[in-house]
Amino acid sequence: MTRVSHREVTKAWTEYTLPCVWGDLTDLVALARQALGEDAARWDSVAEVIATDEELIVRWESR
């Protein structure tokens, strides 16, 4: 039988949120790019964009 191990990982996220108004998505992305600083060049590799019924979220793992 294969040996399986278990672990739980906890991440801290930095998030910018916006009430679900799609027209303002570009502003939200601009804020995220500015907040990421040097990582802005690769923001699409480190950031996630999540859409819920109530809001849009741009987030990335905090260092």
Render the burial of 14-23: b for 16+ CB within 10 Å, e for the rest.
eebebeeeee
Q: What is the pLDDT of residues 19-41, one digit of tens each?
A: 866 667 777 777 777 887 766 55
Predicted TM-score (pTM) above 0.75: no
pLDDT range class, residue 47, cuts 50, 70, 90 = confident
Which pLDDT belongs to residue 29? Answer: 74
Q: Where are the alpha helices (DSSP H) in the chain?
A: 25-36, 43-46
Which pLDDT belongs to residue 43? Answer: 63
Mean pLDDT along residues 47-51:
82
